[in-house]
Copies of this chain bind each other. A is one copy, B any other.
Amino acid sequence: MKAERLNEILDQIEQDLGISERIKIELKPMKIKAASISFKSKTLRINKNMLKDLDEDCIRYLILHELIHYKLKSTYHSDRFYRQLDEKISRSEARELEGKILRSLLELNNIL
């Protein structure tokens, strides 16, 4: 996926969540993580090693997931976190995308 397209998706989701700060997106090879966000540097990182396995819906999910962490200024997957997520994506769709992401992580780590 091209950087331009990534930034388009990022912009859409930022708007949708009502985030006004400018978040940067970065592709970075990581060992364990699928994605991460730094509240301080306002940088969302996606694991470069997983990109080849992930379709646009998965990327969109990762960006949504990280931006909800940013919005809540919390890295926890609390009830509050999942309530926000549920507003933007159905549980069954989220579950399916999370399953795809797990499969991609399996290629990088022996988590099972």
Contact = CB atoms under 8 A, between A and B. Distances in A.
Given A95-B95, A95-B96, A96-B95, A112 B101 contact: yes
A35 interface: yes
Contacts of A94: 99
Nearest to A96: B95
Nearest to A95: B99
Given A96-B95, A98-B103, A109 B32 contact: yes
A112 B32 contact: no
Given A98-B103, A99-B97, A102-B102, A33 B77 contact: no
Interface in A58-89: 62, 65-66, 75, 77
19 contacts: A32-B32, A34-B112, A36-B112, A65-B112, A75-B110, A77-B103, A77-B106, A77-B107, A92-B96, A95-B96, A96-B99, A97-B99, A98-B99, A98-B100, A98-B102, A98-B103, A101-B112, A102-B102, A102-B105
Interface of A: 32-36, 62, 65-66, 75, 77, 92, 94-103, 105-107, 109-112
